[in-house]
Amino acid sequence: MSAITATTASAGALIHPGWVRVCHWINALAMLVMIGSGWQIYDASPLFGFLHFPRSIALGNWLAGALLWHFAAMWLLVLNGIVYVTLGIVSGRFRRKLVPIRPREIVADLKAALTFKLAHDDLSHYNAVQKLLYVGIVVTGVIVVLSGLSIWKPVQFQELTALFGGYDIARYVHFFAMTAIVGFLVVHVALALIVPKSLRAMIVGR
Protein backbone atom coordinates (compact mmCIF):
# COMPACT_ATOMS: atom_id res chain seq x y z
CA MET A 1 0.00 0.00 0.00
CA SER A 2 1.37 3.40 -0.93
CA ALA A 3 1.86 6.18 1.64
CA ILE A 4 -1.02 8.17 0.12
CA THR A 5 -3.35 5.16 0.24
CA ALA A 6 -2.34 4.41 3.83
CA THR A 7 -2.99 8.00 4.85
CA THR A 8 -6.39 7.97 3.16
CA ALA A 9 -7.34 4.69 4.82
CA SER A 10 -6.24 6.03 8.20
CA ALA A 11 -8.23 9.24 7.70
CA GLY A 12 -11.34 7.21 6.86
CA ALA A 13 -10.99 4.75 9.74
CA LEU A 14 -13.72 4.69 12.37
CA ILE A 15 -12.37 6.28 15.54
CA HIS A 16 -15.52 6.70 17.63
CA PRO A 17 -18.46 4.31 17.06
CA GLY A 18 -21.99 5.69 17.16
CA TRP A 19 -22.70 4.74 20.77
CA VAL A 20 -19.57 6.59 21.94
CA ARG A 21 -20.56 9.77 20.11
CA VAL A 22 -24.18 9.68 21.32
CA CYS A 23 -23.13 9.06 24.92
CA HIS A 24 -20.48 11.79 24.70
CA TRP A 25 -22.90 14.51 23.60
CA ILE A 26 -25.65 13.43 25.99
CA ASN A 27 -23.10 13.49 28.79
CA ALA A 28 -21.90 16.95 27.72
CA LEU A 29 -25.47 18.29 27.80
CA ALA A 30 -26.23 16.68 31.17
CA MET A 31 -23.02 18.00 32.71
CA LEU A 32 -23.59 21.55 31.49
CA VAL A 33 -27.11 21.54 32.96
CA MET A 34 -25.89 20.06 36.23
CA ILE A 35 -23.04 22.56 36.54
CA GLY A 36 -25.24 25.58 35.79
CA SER A 37 -28.02 24.48 38.12
CA GLY A 38 -25.46 23.38 40.71
CA TRP A 39 -24.04 26.90 40.83
CA GLN A 40 -27.53 28.26 41.50
CA ILE A 41 -28.05 25.70 44.28
CA TYR A 42 -24.65 26.57 45.74
CA ASP A 43 -25.55 30.27 45.87
CA ALA A 44 -28.54 29.43 48.08
CA SER A 45 -26.19 28.00 50.73
CA PRO A 46 -22.55 28.90 49.95
CA LEU A 47 -19.64 26.91 51.31
CA PHE A 48 -17.21 29.78 50.93
CA GLY A 49 -18.05 33.39 51.76
CA PHE A 50 -15.82 34.76 48.99
CA LEU A 51 -17.38 32.65 46.22
CA HIS A 52 -20.64 33.53 44.50
CA PHE A 53 -21.73 32.54 41.01
CA PRO A 54 -23.39 35.27 38.91
CA ARG A 55 -26.98 34.56 37.92
CA SER A 56 -25.97 35.05 34.29
CA ILE A 57 -24.04 31.76 34.29
CA ALA A 58 -26.33 29.88 36.70
CA LEU A 59 -29.41 27.91 35.68
CA GLY A 60 -32.82 27.89 37.34
CA ASN A 61 -33.22 31.53 38.49
CA TRP A 62 -34.03 30.37 42.02
CA LEU A 63 -33.42 27.36 44.27
CA ALA A 64 -36.53 25.33 43.42
CA GLY A 65 -36.06 25.82 39.70
CA ALA A 66 -32.38 24.92 39.93
CA LEU A 67 -33.19 21.75 41.85
CA LEU A 68 -35.63 20.64 39.15
CA TRP A 69 -33.01 21.13 36.45
CA HIS A 70 -30.34 19.47 38.58
CA PHE A 71 -32.32 16.30 39.33
CA ALA A 72 -33.52 15.94 35.73
CA ALA A 73 -29.94 16.19 34.45
CA MET A 74 -28.71 13.88 37.23
CA TRP A 75 -30.90 10.97 36.10
CA LEU A 76 -29.94 11.58 32.48
CA LEU A 77 -26.27 11.54 33.51
CA VAL A 78 -26.69 8.35 35.57
CA LEU A 79 -28.55 6.43 32.85
CA ASN A 80 -26.18 7.63 30.14
CA GLY A 81 -23.19 6.79 32.34
CA ILE A 82 -24.44 3.26 32.95
CA VAL A 83 -24.87 2.72 29.19
CA TYR A 84 -21.45 4.21 28.42
CA VAL A 85 -19.52 2.25 31.05
CA THR A 86 -21.35 -1.01 30.27
CA LEU A 87 -20.70 -0.76 26.52
CA GLY A 88 -17.15 0.41 27.16
CA ILE A 89 -16.43 -2.73 29.19
CA VAL A 90 -18.42 -5.22 27.09
CA SER A 91 -17.02 -3.97 23.77
CA GLY A 92 -13.47 -4.00 25.10
CA ARG A 93 -13.01 -0.32 24.22
CA PHE A 94 -11.90 0.61 27.77
CA ARG A 95 -9.36 -2.22 27.81
CA ARG A 96 -7.95 -1.26 24.40
CA LYS A 97 -7.82 2.49 24.90
CA LEU A 98 -7.45 3.19 28.63
CA VAL A 99 -4.99 0.58 29.90
CA PRO A 100 -2.25 0.22 30.79
CA ILE A 101 -1.41 3.56 32.40
CA ARG A 102 2.29 3.69 33.20
CA PRO A 103 3.73 6.48 35.41
CA ARG A 104 6.83 6.80 33.21
CA GLU A 105 4.65 7.38 30.13
CA ILE A 106 2.52 9.92 31.99
CA VAL A 107 5.60 11.95 32.91
CA ALA A 108 6.98 11.76 29.36
CA ASP A 109 3.68 12.72 27.70
CA LEU A 110 3.03 15.50 30.20
CA LYS A 111 6.47 16.95 29.52
CA ALA A 112 5.83 16.74 25.77
CA ALA A 113 2.45 18.45 26.19
CA LEU A 114 3.91 21.30 28.24
CA THR A 115 6.60 21.88 25.62
CA PHE A 116 4.05 21.65 22.76
CA LYS A 117 5.76 18.57 21.34
CA LEU A 118 2.95 16.07 21.93
CA ALA A 119 1.87 14.48 18.64
CA HIS A 120 -1.82 14.39 17.67
CA ASP A 121 -1.51 12.52 14.38
CA ASP A 122 -3.25 9.32 15.46
CA LEU A 123 -6.60 10.15 17.08
CA SER A 124 -7.38 6.47 17.57
CA HIS A 125 -4.60 6.22 20.17
CA TYR A 126 -4.79 7.90 23.58
CA ASN A 127 -1.56 9.07 25.15
CA ALA A 128 -0.86 8.35 28.81
CA VAL A 129 -2.13 11.74 30.01
CA GLN A 130 -5.41 11.27 28.12
CA LYS A 131 -5.83 7.80 29.60
CA LEU A 132 -5.30 9.15 33.10
CA LEU A 133 -7.72 12.06 32.56
CA TYR A 134 -10.46 9.88 31.05
CA VAL A 135 -10.24 7.27 33.80
CA GLY A 136 -10.12 10.07 36.37
CA ILE A 137 -13.21 11.80 34.98
CA VAL A 138 -15.20 8.55 35.06
CA VAL A 139 -14.23 8.04 38.71
CA THR A 140 -15.02 11.70 39.48
CA GLY A 141 -18.40 11.31 37.81
CA VAL A 142 -19.20 8.39 40.11
CA ILE A 143 -18.11 10.43 43.14
CA VAL A 144 -20.17 13.47 42.16
CA VAL A 145 -23.30 11.33 41.71
CA LEU A 146 -22.86 9.39 44.96
CA SER A 147 -22.05 12.50 47.00
CA GLY A 148 -25.03 14.23 45.38
CA LEU A 149 -27.31 11.39 46.44
CA SER A 150 -25.99 11.56 49.99
CA ILE A 151 -26.78 15.30 50.08
CA TRP A 152 -30.18 14.90 48.47
CA LYS A 153 -31.41 12.09 50.74
CA PRO A 154 -29.11 12.05 53.81
CA VAL A 155 -31.61 10.00 55.85
CA GLN A 156 -32.60 7.48 53.20
CA PHE A 157 -28.95 7.08 52.15
CA GLN A 158 -27.49 7.50 55.62
CA GLU A 159 -24.86 4.78 55.09
CA LEU A 160 -23.69 6.52 51.94
CA THR A 161 -23.69 9.89 53.68
CA ALA A 162 -21.68 8.39 56.54
CA LEU A 163 -19.20 7.02 53.99
CA PHE A 164 -18.48 10.61 52.93
CA GLY A 165 -18.02 11.67 56.54
CA GLY A 166 -21.47 13.17 57.06
CA TYR A 167 -23.72 15.65 55.29
CA ASP A 168 -21.46 18.69 55.64
CA ILE A 169 -18.34 16.96 54.36
CA ALA A 170 -20.34 15.38 51.54
CA ARG A 171 -21.20 18.90 50.35
CA TYR A 172 -17.52 19.76 50.13
CA VAL A 173 -16.76 16.49 48.32
CA HIS A 174 -19.58 17.24 45.87
CA PHE A 175 -18.33 20.78 45.30
CA PHE A 176 -14.71 19.82 44.67
CA ALA A 177 -15.74 16.91 42.42
CA MET A 178 -17.81 19.39 40.42
CA THR A 179 -14.83 21.74 40.29
CA ALA A 180 -12.65 18.92 38.95
CA ILE A 181 -15.22 18.22 36.23
CA VAL A 182 -15.33 21.90 35.26
CA GLY A 183 -11.54 21.92 35.07
CA PHE A 184 -11.60 18.81 32.87
CA LEU A 185 -14.17 20.39 30.56
CA VAL A 186 -12.06 23.55 30.18
CA VAL A 187 -9.00 21.48 29.22
CA HIS A 188 -11.10 19.20 27.01
CA VAL A 189 -12.64 22.07 25.06
CA ALA A 190 -9.29 23.85 24.77
CA LEU A 191 -7.69 20.73 23.27
CA ALA A 192 -10.62 20.31 20.87
CA LEU A 193 -10.02 23.86 19.64
CA ILE A 194 -6.27 23.28 19.34
CA VAL A 195 -6.82 19.99 17.47
CA PRO A 196 -10.06 20.58 15.47
CA LYS A 197 -9.96 17.14 13.84
CA SER A 198 -10.59 15.59 17.25
CA LEU A 199 -13.89 17.49 17.45
CA ARG A 200 -14.78 16.43 13.92
CA ALA A 201 -14.07 12.81 14.82
CA MET A 202 -16.47 13.03 17.78
CA ILE A 203 -19.17 14.32 15.42
CA VAL A 204 -18.78 12.11 12.36
CA GLY A 205 -16.79 9.28 13.94
CA ARG A 206 -13.90 9.40 11.46
| Per-residue pLDDT at 12 | 62
The pLDDT mean for the chain works out to: 87
Residue range 7-29, pLDDT digits in tens: 433 456 788 899 999 999 999 99
| Per-residue pLDDT at 112 | 80
Burial of 92 (0-12, 13-18, 19+ CB in 10 A): exposed
Instruction: Set out the domains of the chain in order of their start, with CATH numbers.
Output: 3-204 (1.20.950.20)
Residue range 109-142, pLDDT digits in tens: 888 877 766 666 667 778 888 888 889 999 999 9
Percent of the chain with pLDDT over 70: 90
| Per-residue pLDDT at 6 | 38
Residue range 156-173, pLDDT digits in tens: 999 999 999 999 999 999
pLDDT reading at 80 higher than 90: yes
| Per-residue pLDDT at 196 | 84
Phi, psi for 120 (deg, rounded to 5)? -125, 25
